[in-house]
Amino acid sequence: MGLFSQIFTWWGGTTIGHRFTLWKNGRFVGEDDLGNSYYEQAKGVGPLGKPRRWVVYDRLAEATLIPPGWYGWMHYKTDTPPSDEVYAPRGFEAPHKPNYTGTALRYRPNAEERDAGKAVASDYDAWRPE
């Protein structure tokens, strides 16, 4: 099923066309702790005047699976990839949590938080057309 899925599906990882593009135009930069691989355009520049950067996800293609250090490199915040430097997460960087939207683990505010945004009857007068 591996070769078949690489030819006909994009959601399960990299495709044959993507592998060819990386082989022809890409330069391997590094890999993160989650198994994602990062590439940069080997020659020339992209449409923004900078070399293009790619990520090949190890599992599901989900943007929240990029760690903070690599996120900064992917979005041109830094030119040095985390694989070329000793990267230590800062104190305010929380460990990665996947996107739980649409699952039973999604965020649901408790009743107190939901009611905090509601107007109290005494300070609200509804408009009525006359």
Q: How far is CA 97 from each of CA 50, 65, 74, 119, rounded to the nearest angstrom?
A: 30, 8, 19, 34
The residues with which 30 forms a beta bridge, in sequence order, are: 38
Q: How far is CA 114 from each of CA 102, 110, 124, rounded to the nearest angstrom?
A: 19, 6, 18
Residues in the chain, overall count: 130
For residue 115, count other CB atoms closer than 10 A to its CB.
Answer: 9
The reported pLDDT for the residue numbered 102 is 87
The residues with which 14 forms a beta bridge, in sequence order, are: none
Residue 119's identity, in one-letter code, is A
Per-residue pLDDT of the chain (130 residues; tens, 9 = 90+): 466 666 666 665 677 777 777 778 888 999 988 888 999 988 888 777 888 888 888 877 788 888 888 898 999 998 888 888 877 778 887 777 778 888 888 888 777 666 666 655 566 677 888 7
Q: How far apart are CA 127 and CA 130, in angstroms?
A: 9
The residues with which 60 forms a beta bridge, in sequence order, are: none
Check if the beta carbon of residue 47 is closer than 8 Å to that of residue 67. no
Structural domain boundaries in the chain: 19-95
